[in-house]
Structures are given as C-alpha cells and as structure tokens.
C-alpha cells in the first residue's frame, strides 16, 4: 500500500511539472483559447448624451458617499485603525480623473455590459486599491465604462481594435463630463492603470495635447502600460517627470519581481507601432521610480513609506512601510527585488502588474500632493 501511495505521489509531481512547463511555453496559446472571444464584434450603441450625469455611472465621484470606492483608506501597520477619507491631512483643492484597468474576463463578448455584476465588483476592488492613494483630492472621478474584455489584449485582430475604440468612446464621454463639472480654476490629476492607461494616453494625444485644459494638468500617472521614450512620449504633449517636485509631467512604471521574465511584455512592446507610427523595437521604456519621483535610479525598501498589503479577498488591507524596494532595469521595467507577499494575482514571469500602484501606495499619495503644490506655486 505504501509503495502504491508513493507511485501515486510521484505521478502527481510529474503531472504538476508538466503543467508548469505547459503554462510556461504555451501560455500565449492557452490564454488565447481561454479568453479571446470567438464571436463577431457587435457595435455598441452610443451612450445617451447625458449618461454620465447619473451617479450610478461612476465608481467614484463627489456626492456618492459611503459607496465611493476611491474614498476607502487602509489602516497603518501597528495602528490598527482605518484612516479617515483623505488620510490624516485636510484634502487638497484638486480633482482626479481615474480610469480603472480591465476587470472583464468573459469571452462571450468583446466589451463588458455595464450591468455585468462580476466585472463591476472587480472594478470596485481596483478603484479601492489604485485610486485611494489620491484621496487627498477634493474630488475623485472614476467612471464605469464598457471596457474591452481581457482577451482583446491577446490578439491583434480587427475585433480587438474595435472593442478598444468602443471602450475609449465611453471614457472620452466621461472625461468631457468631468471637465464640465470641475471648477475651471481647479488643477486636475489624471491617473489610470493598464487598459485605463491606454485610454488615458489616447485622451492626452487627442483631447489635451493642443487644448487650453493642458495647462491645468498638475500630474499624470500612466501606470501599467509601457511608454516608449522615443516613439510615444513626444506625441503625448507632456514631459516625463524628472524630479519629485515637477508639475505638469507624466509618470509610468511596470513592476516585476526578480528573477524577472518580461519576455512576453517586451516582445509585444517591440512588435507594436508607437504613437509616431513606427515600431517601438528596442527603444527605451519610460521608467519612473515611484520611490524617488524621478526617472530611473535605485531606491531601497526603507524609502517605501507604505505598501498596501491586501486581505485574501481584497476587501481590505494594511499599509506596511519598508516592504518593497524599486530600481529601474536596463529595459525600463521597474524591478522590486524578491517576490513580495502581496496577493495571489501575480502574472507569469514574476509580473506584479496588478500591484503596480498598491506596492507604492503611500509614496504615490505623498507624490501627488507635492506635484499639486508645485503646480499651485508656479508663477
């Protein structure tokens, strides 16, 4: 009996190893089968002109109250208490427009229905963890939108492009309502992650680069999407943030623990056209170090003022200082040392994509306050 049991364990080990090799070498094919819709793209009807007047179209906006996902604040390690909205300091006079990342994984459609309960639940979790560092703002606006499904990022098909265009149309409409609702003298901060950042970058190019509103932008947090310094940045109309006290500039980073295997990200990046229409190739990826507020460089874990460590179900979390270092690697990806214990949503290759902002939660909170203050003090 003991020998049969050992054989059974050995077989399980072999199967587990085989599964790991399959995931490593066939991840792209398996993911495409699992997530890319096999149905035709169905064009979405435009939202009503006044759709974003409805508070239900926002995950965060003034007046929502306790249902506002971005107004949540974590407890600090050792204090055992949840911070009040805005933290321990009075809110600043600035408005944030935040676009959440992909939370729709269904392959039955190319775009998420607004009434899809599961994707909306996950979107609220994302906003709670990623938009909450901006809680010192007097206003935070985070729209619901008919996002492209996850599978749209695993194919270069025409349907995927149409799905992203459709999602952007909603974001553009929400942004127009945001601008019309915020006082004209109020500085604005733009932030997004992953798919949210992709739409944000399009807003910069098409709506802000040549607009008078450009001068009101105190800072841009375009996180979780690689930006080519050569082929993308010039088209955005904003410089990269070179110092922590600089205003009117853009930050971007993508986090990997070590040993890092960013080959899938690098391959997709290299083969894609930049905003100037030419292939990105081996061009440098913009890497802001969120622990220093500048381009590139190395910062120890001691410089990290607070990493958001979530509960297992992501319903809450705690700020832990000194948990994660950061340095910009040769290819422009942000390396965070040994894999930190921050949750189960780590992607292949030690890709900490989902945690890009929570890893540096308190530093982002301090960073945005500095940049808004710098914007306000400009002559």
The predicted model gives 23-43 an average pLDDT of: 67
Residues 288/295, Cβ–Cβ less than 8 Å: yes
Distance in angstroms (rounded) separating the CA atoms of residues 217 and 366: 17
DSSP conformation class of 347: B
CA quadruple 205, 209, 213, 219: dihedral, nearest 10: 80
Q: Which of 21-25, 116-120, 259-263 has the lowest mean pLDDT?
A: 21-25
Q: Is the pLDDT of residue 23 over 90?
A: no
Distance in angstroms (rounded) separating the CA atoms of residues 174 and 186: 18
Which pTM value belongs to this model?
0.89
Residues 31/154, Cβ–Cβ less than 8 Å: yes
Closest CA to 130 of 355, 323, 300: 355
pLDDT at position 313: 80
pLDDT at position 77: 75
Closest CA to 336 of 232, 227, 258: 258
Q: Give CA separation, 263 vs 8, 17, 321, in Å.
A: 35, 21, 30
Token duo for residue 190:
């733009």
Q: Is the pLDDT of residue 6 over 80?
A: no
DSSP conformation class of 63: T
Which residue carries 């996902």 as its tokens? 69
Q: Is the pLDDT of residue 140 over 50?
A: yes
Q: Is the pLDDT of residue 97 over 90?
A: yes
Task: Return mean pLDDT, the chain.
Answer: 89
> Around 243, how many Cα atoms within 13 Å sit in the side-chain half-sphere?
4
Q: How many other CB atoms are found less than 10 A from the CB of residue 38? A: 9
3-state class (DSSP) for residue 82: strand
Distance in angstroms (rounded) separating the CA atoms of residues 74 and 97: 21
What percentage of the chain exceeds 70 in pLDDT? 88
Q: Are strands 294-295 and 288-289 parallel, antiparallel or unpaired?
A: antiparallel
The predicted model gives 282-308 an average pLDDT of: 97
Confidence of residue 79 (pLDDT cuts 50, 70, 90): low
pLDDT at position 15: 38
Residues 130/100, Cβ–Cβ less than 8 Å: yes
Q: Is the pLDDT of residue 342 over 70?
A: yes
Q: Which residues lie closer than 8 Å to 318 by C-beta, 6 or more apart? A: 74, 75, 76, 77, 308, 309
Q: Is the pLDDT of residue 19 over 70?
A: no
Closest CA to 273 of 218, 230, 224, 332: 230
DSSP conformation class of 285: B
DSSP conformation class of 279: B
Residues 79/201, Cβ–Cβ less than 8 Å: no
Q: Give CA separation, 198 vs 57, 192, 203, 221, 226, in Å.
A: 20, 8, 9, 12, 9
pLDDT at position 190: 98
Residues 230/275, Cβ–Cβ less than 8 Å: no
């Amino acid at each position: 009996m003991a020998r049969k049991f050992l054989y059974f364990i050995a077989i399980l080990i072999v199967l587990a190893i085989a599964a790991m090799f399959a995931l490593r070498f066939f991840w792209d094919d398996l993911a495409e089968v699992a997530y890319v819709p096999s149905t035709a793209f169905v064009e979405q009807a435009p939202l009503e002109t006044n759709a974003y007047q409805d508070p239900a179209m926002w995950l965060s906006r003034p007046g929502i109250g306790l249902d506002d996902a971005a107004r949540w604040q974590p407890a600090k390690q050792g204090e055992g208490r949840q911070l009040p909205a805005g933290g321990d300091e009075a809110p600043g006079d600035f408005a944030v427009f935040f676009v959440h990342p992909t939370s729709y994984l269904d392959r039955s459609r190319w775009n998420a229905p607004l009434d899809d309960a599961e994707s909306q639940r996950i979107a609220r979790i994302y906003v709670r963890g990623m938009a909450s560092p901006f809680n010192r703002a007097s206003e935070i606006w985070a729209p619901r939108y008919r996002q492209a499904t996850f599978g749209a990022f695993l194919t270069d098909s025409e349907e995927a492009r149409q799905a992203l265009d459709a999602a952007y149309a909603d974001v553009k409409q929400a942004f127009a309502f945001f601008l019309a609702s915020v006082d004209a003298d109020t500085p604005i901060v733009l932030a997004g992650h992953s798919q949210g950042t992709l739409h944000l970058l399009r807003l910069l190019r098409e709506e802000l680069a040549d607009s008078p509103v450009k001068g009101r932008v105190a800072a841009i947090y375009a996180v979780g999407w690689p930006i080519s310094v050569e082929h993308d940045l010039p088209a955005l109309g904003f410089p990269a943030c070179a110092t922590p006290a600089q205003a009117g500039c853009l930050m971007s980073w993508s986090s990997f623990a070590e040993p890092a295997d960013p080959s899938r990200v690098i391959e997709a990046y290299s083969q894609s056209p930049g905003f100037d229409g030419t292939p990105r190739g081996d061009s440098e990826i913009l890497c802001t170090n969120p622990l220093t507020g500048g381009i590139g460089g190395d910062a120890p874990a001691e410089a990290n003022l607070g990493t958001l460590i979530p509960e297992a179900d992501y319903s809450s979390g705690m700020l832990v200082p000194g948990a994660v270092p950061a340095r910009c690697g040769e290819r422009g990806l942000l390396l965070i040392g040994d894999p930190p214990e921050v949750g189960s949503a780590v992607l292949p290759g030690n890709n900490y994509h989902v945690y890009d902002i929570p890893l540096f939660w308190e530093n982002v909170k301090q960073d945005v306050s500095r940049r808004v203050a710098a914007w306000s003090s400009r002559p």
